[in-house]
Amino acid sequence: MAPVRLPADSELPLLRTRVSDLADRALVVGDPGRAARVAELLDDARQLTANREYHVYSGQYRGVPVTVASHGVGAAGAAVCFEELARGGVSRIIRSGTAGGIQPEVVDGAIVVATGAVRADGISHQLVPTEFPAIATPELTIALRAAAAETGLKTHTGIVLTGDMFYPSDVITGIDHAMWQRAGIVAVEMEAAALFVIAALHGIESGAVFAIDGNPLNAADEAMDGYDPYREIVTQAVDGSLKCALDVLVS
């Protein structure tokens, strides 16, 4: 079955955006509030739609048309956003999000560029078997790493872990962060694997850059009791990673 491409005059069922209003390049973020803040950085920005967790804007960045869309928390809902953008003809998608550090040196305020993602999410296995790797487009990864280095913030590059569990249950811990630390995983988040897999299946480009908002193992806080992503040090890294994502999106 060839990847679906929708006609320009159709509307994406859940993003509720007309295909003809989409730019060729899209920045995706989890938080609708962050999408609104990114829209303020664009010229001629206009909000196309706000349906469920999906808030969609189009505008121009450095003279290049771009779309910004929020996808919410979790790979299954985010996959709807990524799939509809691809069906609508978007050919480059970059995710800019927050993530927790897994290696001891990956701490608050740093930027992480993902080379690929561990597929510990629930949706990507239903799209293609586990043996299929979740990898970012190498050219975008290299460009994101160079852009991150320019921010002056501490940056790391490597494989991230995409999981569905943010808060562990008190019955059993669902993700063995220490094991993934031993395997060299840099950071943990919840949507990148779905993006990389869906983009690969559609034959389009994808990349991801993250602001680190904590380190559950360093803090001995796998229960995430002390989680606070709204501190100034995290906001600076979020702004830095958004700028990297936009610069590479239009490069």
Ligand X SMILES: O=P(O)(O)O[C@H]1O[C@H](CO)[C@@H](O)[C@H]1O
Ligand Y SMILES: O=c1cc[nH]c(=O)[nH]1
Q: Is 213 in the site for ligand Y (CB under 6 A)?
A: yes
Only segment of 19-27, 59-67, 148-156, 211-219 that touches ligand Y (CB under 6 A): 211-219
Q: What distance in Å separates the CA atoms of residue 194 and residue 163, rounded to the nearest whole number?
A: 10
Asked about 213 being catalytic, the answer comes back as yes
Q: Which residue is nearest to ligand X (CB)?
A: 30
DSSP 37: H
Q: How far is the CB of 166 from ligand X (least distance, A)?
A: 5
Q: Is 217 in the site for ligand Y (CB under 6 A)?
A: no
Nearer to ligand X, 88 or 97 (CB): 97
Query: Can you tell me the distance from the alpha carbon of 88 to that of 198, in angstroms, rounded to the nearest whole number?
Result: 13
Phi, psi (degrees; rounded to nearest 5) at 94: -120, 130
Q: Which is nearer to ligand X, 30 or 101 (CB)?
A: 30
Handedness of CA 73, 75, 80, 84 (dihedral sign): positive
191 binds, among ligand X, ligand Y, none (CB under 5 to 8 A by kind): ligand X
SS3 content of the chain, % helix, strand, coil (to 5): 30, 30, 40
Classify strands 111-120 and 205-212 as parallel, antiparallel or unpaired. Answer: antiparallel
65 vs 229, beta carbon nearer ligand Y: 229
* Selected binder of ligand Y within 59, 88, 109, 216 (CB under 6 A): 216
31 binds, among ligand X, ligand Y, none (CB under 5 to 8 A by kind): ligand X
CA distance 37 to 72: 15
Binding stretches for ligand Y (CB under 6 A): 98-100, 166, 188-190, 213-214, 216
Give catalytic residue positions.
Answer: 213
